[in-house]
Amino acid sequence: MSLEKLIDEKIQEAMARGEFDDLPGKGKPIDLSDYFATPEDRRTTYSVLKNASVLPEEGELLKEIETLKRRLADCRDQKLAAGLRKTLNESVLKLNLALERHKKR
């Protein structure tokens, strides 16, 4: 039995069991605009990273900045707040530098 036929059989069996019935976006068209907006030489890499739930550096920095802002807003200790502000400013600087690098490409 060919690999293609085996794969098709497994998919058909899974469909018969209803394993695809509750998938997000079922019955809706697939939005590929982000895929085609990504430069061709980066599409595969970005797709792999996205499927692995890995954020690019900028995304990680944005998450870190939001976390630091929340912690700073809740902080009542002045010494701790000063450290959080310093870390926040460093993260914002890293983000700005990363964004500048992308503009130059």
**Does 13 map to a domain?**
no
pTM: 0.54
Range of the domain at 50: 30-104
pLDDT for residue 35 is more than 90: no
The whole-angstrom separation of Cα 48 and Cα 92 is 27
Q: Identify whether 6 is part of a domain.
A: no
- pLDDT at residue 76, as a whole number: 95
Total domains present in the chain: 1
User: Average pLDDT in the 28-57 region?
Assistant: 84
- Residue 65 CA to residue 95 CA, distance in Å, equals 9
For residues 51 and 40, give the distance between their C-alpha atoms in angstroms, rounded to a whole number: 17
